Amino acid sequence: MNFKADLTRRTGLALLLAGALAGSGLLAGRAAAEPAPYPVKVVTLVTHSSPGGGSDVFLRELSKYLGKYIDATFVVENVQGGSGAKAVARVAGAPADGSVFYATTPTYIYTSLLSKPPKTYKDLEPLANIFADSEVVFTRADGPYKTLQDVVDKAKKERGKWGAANPASLERQAAEQLKRAAGVNAAIVTHEGGGDMMLNVLNGTLDIGVGEFQELRSQIEAGKIRVLATFNPERLPEKPDVPTVKEAGYDVQLVKFRGLAGPKGLPDAVTKTWDAAIQKVLQDPDYRKEYTEEVLVAKFIDHKDYPAFVNSFATTTEAFLKETGAIK
C-alpha cells in the first residue's frame, strides 16, 4: 500500500473512531471536564474563621473541586479579628478582578450592624450563594448532658456556660434566642472561631456549643461530640435521630447561608464563570457525597439574585436586633 492510500485509510479510521466516541458521549464528557478560562491564575478565598472553623472547612473542601471547573489555583487565607471585620476590609480593598473573594455567612451582616466597622457588607459585592447550613447544639460525649432539656435544667439551677463562634454571628444569636425562649440566664461565651469553641466544649469549660455539622464532623465520627438538637425547622434527613429545638419546646428556628462575595465592580465575565462553575461543582458526584455527609444543603443563588437575598437578610436581622435592644 502506498503512502497516500495508507494516510487515507488512517484518516478514515480516525474519523470513524472520533464519531464513535462522540456518539458514546466520551468526547463530550472530556470537553465538559475542561476548566473554564479565567483572567487570573491564583484566587484567594478569605475567611474570618480560625483553622477548623465552619467557613475555613467550607472553603478548603470547596477549593479541592473548583479547579476542575475554573482554570485557576485556589488558596484559603484566614484573616481573623473583629468578628469578621478585618476579613471584610481585606476583601473590600482588593482589586475587583476575580482574584479575591470572601466566604459570606450571617456573621458579616451581624458584625456590620452591631459594631459598625469601617467596611461593612455593603462594601462587598455578593457573588453567589452555595449552601444552607444547619446550626446545632452540641456537647461533649462523655459529659452529663443527654438532652437539650438537661442543659436548660442546669442553666436554671446554676446559670451555666454556652459557647458561640464569635460575638457577631448567627450562632451567638441562636444561643441568645434559646436562652430567652428557655427563660434562663446562661452566660454566652464567644470565640474568634469554631475551632477555639470546640476545645472549650471538649474540656468541659462550656456546657454546650452552637455550631455547624460541617465543623463538628470529625469529632462526631470520633465519638467525642454528642449533638443534642438542631435549629432547623424539621429534623435533618441525614440525622433523623437529632430532634429540633422546637421539639424540645423552644420555638427557635435558624438556618445559616454560605456563599461568596468579592470587591465591588466584578466583571461580568468573572460572575458568569462562577455562576456556571458553582452549579457544576454542586453536581460533582465526589463533592456531593462529601457535602451531603457534612449535612450541607445545596442552595445555589446566582449573582443576579444574591444581592437581594443578602439585603433582605440584613433588613430582617436589623429589625430583630432593634427589637431585642442590641442596636438602636
Specify whether the CB–CB gap between 126 and 97 falls below 8 A: no
Amino acid at 26: L
Cα dist from 179 to 75, 107, 113, 135, 162, whole Å: 38, 19, 21, 15, 9
| CA-only gyration radius of the chain, Å | 24
* 201-216 pLDDT, tens digit each: 999 999 999 988 777 8
pLDDT band with cut points at 50, 70 and 90 for residue 1: very low
Specify whether the CB–CB gap between 203 and 197 falls below 8 A: no
pTM: 0.74
* CA angle in degrees (0–180, nearest 5) for 250-252-255: 145
* 232-291 pLDDT, tens digit each: 888 888 889 999 999 999 999 888 899 999 999 999 999 999 999 999 999 999 999 999
* 79-95 pLDDT, tens digit each: 998 888 999 999 999 99
Question: How far does the chain reach from its first CA to its final CA, in angstroms?
Answer: 91
Task: Name the DSSP letter for residue 104.
Answer: E
| 93: three-class secondary structure by DSSP | coil
Specify whether the CB–CB gap between 148 and 248 falls below 8 A: yes
